[in-house]
Amino acid sequence: MFCGQGVGEPRPSQQLAVIEQALDQGVNYFDLIVPPDRLQEASHLHSSALSALHEQRENIILSAQVGFHPLGRIAGFGSRKSITSALDGILRTTGLEYLDVLYLNRYDRSTPMRESVKAMTTAVDRGKTLYLGLSDYAPASALRMAKALSETGNPAIACQAPLSLLNPWAQDALMSIMDDQGISLIAETSLPKHLLSYVESTCQDGSVCEAVQLSSRRREAMKELESIAVRRGQSLVGLALSWVLRDWRVASSVVPISSLALLQESLGSMSHLKFTADELSAIDYCREQIDTLFDA
State the DSSP string of 46-114: HHHHTHHHHHTGGG-EEEEEEE--TTS-SSSTTSHHHHHHHHHHHHHHHT-S-EEEEEEES--TTS-HH
C-alpha dihedral (164, 166, 169, 175), degrees to nearest 10? 50
**CATH C-level class of 2-162:** alpha beta
Cα 105 to Cα 286: distance, rounded to the nearest angstrom: 31
Are the C-beta atoms of residues 9 and 43 closer than 8 Å to each other?
no
pTM: 0.84
Residues with Cβ within 8 Å of residue 243, at least 6 apart in sequence:
165, 275, 283
One digit per residue, the tens of pLDDT, for the chain of length 296 reads 455 544 445 566 777 888 889 989 988 899 988 766 555 555 555 556 677 788 888 899 999 999 998 776 778 899 999 999 999 999 988 889 999 999 999 999 999 999 999 999 999 999 999 999 999 999 999 999 999 999 999 999 999 998 888 777 777 789 999 999 999 999 988 766 555 554 454 444 444 334 444 467 777 888 899 999 999 999 888 999 999 999 998 999 888 888 888 899 889 999 999 999 999 999 998 888 875 444 44
The pLDDT assigned to 54 comes to 83
Are the C-beta atoms of residues 29 and 3 closer than 8 Å to each other?
yes
DSSP conformational letter for 269 = G
The pLDDT assigned to 183 comes to 96
The pLDDT assigned to 171 comes to 72
